[in-house]
Structure 1
Amino acid sequence: MLNAWRLTMLKDKLDRMNKRCVKEEEQLAVHRSARLCNLVYLFFLVTYASFGILSVFPAVLKGRTPWRIYIPYFDWRVSTSNLMIASSFEFLCMGSALSLNHLNDAYPLVFGLVIRLNIDLLKKRIQNLRTDPCKCEEQNYEDLKNCIDDHKQILDACNLIRPCLSQIICMQFLFVGVLYGITMMNLMFFVNFWTGISCMIYFFGIICQTFPFCYICTLIDSDCDDLALSIFSSNWQDASPRYKSTLRHFLHHAQQNITFTAGGIFPISLNTNISLAKMAFSVVTFVKQMKILDSLNDK
C-alpha cells in the first residue's frame, strides 16, 4: 500500500499538473476522469460486497456458518445465537480481507486512468504549440518548457507509485492463475445454485484484479508512442534554434515508454494477463487427467 510520504508526493505532483488545466475542455476532461474513477471504486465495492453478502445469507438460512472458520472453545452448532455470533465473526474477518482486496484492486486502476488523462492532456497541449499567432517566440518557448515540466511530473508520479504497484501486481500474478483454476473447478463440480452465483461473482472479481490494470498499462504504452509522434508533428519547422534544440531533447525523453513490471519480473500487459488465464485451463486439465476428483468422490 502507499505510505504517507509517497501519497503526499503523488498528490503534490497531480495537483501541479491539474493547475495547468485552465481551458474549459481540459477542466471538463478532468471532471469526466474523476467521475470514471469514482465508478471504478464503486464497481469494485459492489462486486466484493455482493460476494460477501451472497456467501453469508444462504449459509445462515441453511443453519451453518458461511466459511467454516474454526473458533476454539466455541461451537456454533449448539444454538441459533451461537450460529449468529460465529457468522458475524466470520463476516467481520472476511469483510476486512475483502476491503483490503477492494483497495488493492481499485487504486492501481484509478492511478492508471489519471496517468492516461494527463498524457492525453499533454498531447493536446503539444499539438497546440506555436499555433497562437498572438504569442511571441519567447512565450512559445515557455509553453514548451511547461510541457516538458508536465512530462517530468508524469514520470515522477509513475516512479513514486511503481514500487507499490510492482509488489501488489506481482502477488496477484502469482496467485490469480491458480485461483482461476480452483474457482473453475468449484463452479464445475461442487456448487449449488446460490453458492454458484457467489462463486461466479468471485470469479468475476478475480478477473477484475488484473485484467483492467493490464489493459490500462497497454494503453499507456500506446499513449507514449502517440506522445512522441505529437512532438514530432508539432509546428516546429520555422522555430528558433533554441526551441528546436529543446524540442529534440524532449522528443528523446518522450520516446522512452512508461512501463510497469510485477516484481521486476513480469511485464504488466495484456499478454501477461492472457498467459495467466491459460493457467486456469491447464489446472482444470491436469485435475481431469489425473482423475483427482474421481478419487475424492470414491473416498
Structure 2
Amino acid sequence: MTDAEQEQPELDTHSAVHYHWRVWELTGLMRPKGISGVIYAVYAILINVVVTILFPLSLMARLFFTHNMQEMCENLTITITDIVANLKFVNVYLVREQLHEIRVLLRRLDARAKEVGHPEELAALRSEVEIAKSGFRYFARIFVFGTTLSCIRVAIAPERQLLYPAWFGVDWQRSTRAYVVIYIYQLFGLIVQAVQNCASDSFPPAYLCLLTGHMRALELRVRRIGYDSTDVMEPRWSGSGDGEAWQRQMHTKLIECIQDLILIYRLRSIIQRILSAACMAQFACSAAVQCTVAMHFLYVVDDNDLSAMILSIVFFAAVTLEVFIICYFGDRMRSQSEALCDAFYACNWVDQLPRFKQDLLFTLARTQRPSMIFAGNYISLSLETFEEVMRFTYSVFTLLVRVK
C-alpha cells in the first residue's frame, strides 16, 4: 500500500449527510446516542412548539393586518417559504425510518467497494461525498447571509421594525421591553428555522450524490469484467485449459455486480419515497414565491427601499436555486444510470459462457429504462423540469404585471 492510499480516510459515504443528521438531532428529530429518551422527547416537543409551530403562526396572523399590496407581498414571501420549510421538516420526521434503512444499505455498498478496492471507484465515491458536504455548506452560507441581511435592515431602519412582519398581540412599537423580547424570539426562531431549512433543502441533492456515486462505482466495476486489470482495457482470455475456470470467475463477478445493482435499485426506491413529497412541495411553492417576490420587488423599487430590494433579490435567488439544485442532481443521476447501462454492453461478454450472456440479457432488459426520481411520483427531477418551472413563473409574473 502506498503512502497516498494510507493517507486516504476510511470510506464512509454516509458521512456525506453528517451535517444533516447533526441538525436533525439538534432540532428534535433524531435522538443522539447517550441521551435519555424522556429528556430528548421533552426537548423536541419544546423546541418544535416554540419555533416550528408558533413561528409560522405569527407570520400567518400578520396577513390579516396588512394595509397594502407591498406589505402583503413581503409577508407572503416569508410566510410561504416558512410553511413549505416546515412541511419539508415534518417530512423528514415521517421518513426517519427510511433514512436509517439508507444508512444500512450504504454500509453494505461501502463494504463492497472496499472489498474490490479499486482506486478509481473509491475516488469516485469520495468525490460525491465531498460534493454533498459542499452543498450543505453553500446552503448554510446563503441562510447566514439572509439572516444577517435581515438584522442589518432592522438596525439601519429609521423606525422600529421586526426581523419579519408578524403579529404578537402586543404594542411592541411603544414598549421597549416587548420589542426586545419579540426581537430575541424572532432571531432565535429565524436561526432555528434557517438551520432546519438548510438541512431540508440540502439533503435531497446529498442523497442523489450518494446514489450517483455508487452507480459510478458499479459502472467502473462492470466495465472491467472480462478485461485485464491493467489500465489498458484488453480482453483477458488465453483459450488454454484454464479458460473455462476464467469464464466461471467472470460469471461470478457478473453475479456480484448484479447483486450490487439490486442494492442500488433498492436504494433508489427508498430515496424516491423520501424525496417525493419534499420535492413536490418545493415545486408547488417555488413559482408562487418567485412571483410574490418579483411583485414585492416592483413595489419596493417604486419606494426606493434599497434594503428591501436586496432582500427580495436574495429570496428570489434562494427559491430559484433550491429548484435548480434538485433538478440538476436528479438529471445528473439519470445520466449516470444511462452510463451504468452502457457499462453492461461494454464488458467483455463475447468470450463468456452462455449462462453469463443469459444473465447479462436479463440485466440489460432491466437497465434499459434510465433511473429517475419523481416529485409526487409524477414530475421528474431533471433540467427540463426546471426549464418548465421557470417558463411557468415568467408567464404568471407577466400576467401579474399587467394586472398591476
Work out whether the TM-score is over 0.5.
yes
Of structures 1 and 2, the one scoring higher in RCO (CA 8 A, sep 6+) is: 1
User: Is the Cα–Cα contact under 8 Å of residues 224 and 255 in structure 1 kept in the other structure?
Assistant: no
Deviation of residue 79 (structure 1)?
4.1
CA distance in 1, matches of 2:350, 2:343: 14
Among 132, 135, 139, the alignment partner of 1:44 is: 139
The residue that corresponds to 1:270 in the other structure is 383
The residue that corresponds to 2:162 in the other structure is 65
DSSP 3-state at the match of 1:70: coil
1:178 aligns with 2:288: yes
CA distance in 2, matches of 1:152, 1:142: 15
Number of residue pairs the alignment of both structures matches:
290
**Consecutive unaligned residues in structure 2, runs of 5 or more:** 1-90, 229-235, 238-244
Alignment of 1:1-299 (within 5 A): 1-2=91-92, 3-21=95-113, 22-62=117-157, 63-72=160-169, 74-132=170-228, 133=236, 136-190=246-300, 192-291=305-404
The one-letter code matched in structure 1 to 2:281 is: M
DSSP 3-state at the match of 1:238: coil
The one-letter code matched in structure 1 to 2:381 is: I
CA distance in 1, matches of 2:384, 2:214: 25
The one-letter code matched in structure 2 to 1:172 is: Q
TM-score, length of structure 1 as denominator length: 0.90
Deviation of residue 234 (structure 1)?
1.3
CA distance in 1, matches of 2:142, 2:391: 24
CA distance in 1, matches of 2:314, 2:253: 49
CA RMSD of aligned residues (A): 1.9
User: Is the Cα–Cα contact under 8 Å of residues 121 and 216 in structure 2 kept in the other structure?
Assistant: no
TM-score, length of structure 2 as denominator length: 0.68
User: Is the Cα–Cα contact under 8 Å of residues 60 and 87 in structure 1 kept in the other structure?
Assistant: no
Q: Which moved more, 1:232-241 or 1:93-102?
A: 93-102
Deviation of residue 203 (structure 1)?
1.5
Q: What are the Cα deviations for residues 124-166 of structure 1, in whole angstroms up to 9, with x where unaligned?
A: 1111001134982222112111211111111101111212211
Q: What are the Cα deviations for residues 254-294 of structure 1, in whole angstroms up to 9, with x where unaligned?
A: 11321222212322222222121122222321222223xxx
User: Is the Cα–Cα contact under 8 Å of residues 250 and 352 in structure 2 kept in the other structure?
Assistant: no
User: Is the Cα–Cα contact under 8 Å of residues 113 and 216 in structure 1 kept in the other structure?
Assistant: yes
User: Is the Cα–Cα contact under 8 Å of residues 26 and 121 in structure 1 kept in the other structure?
Assistant: yes
CA distance in 1, matches of 2:266, 2:143: 32
**Consecutive unaligned residues in structure 1, runs of 5 or more:** 292-299
Q: What are the Cα deviations for residues 49-94 of structure 1, in whole angstroms up to 9, with x where unaligned?
A: 211221123214423112121112x322124443232112122233
The change in CA–CA distance for 1:231 and 1:120 in structure 2 (over 3 A counts) is: same
CA distance in 2, matches of 1:139, 1:238: 12
DSSP 3-state at the match of 1:20: helix
The residue that corresponds to 1:294 in the other structure is none
CA distance in 1, matches of 2:367, 2:287: 34
DSSP 3-state at the match of 2:184: helix
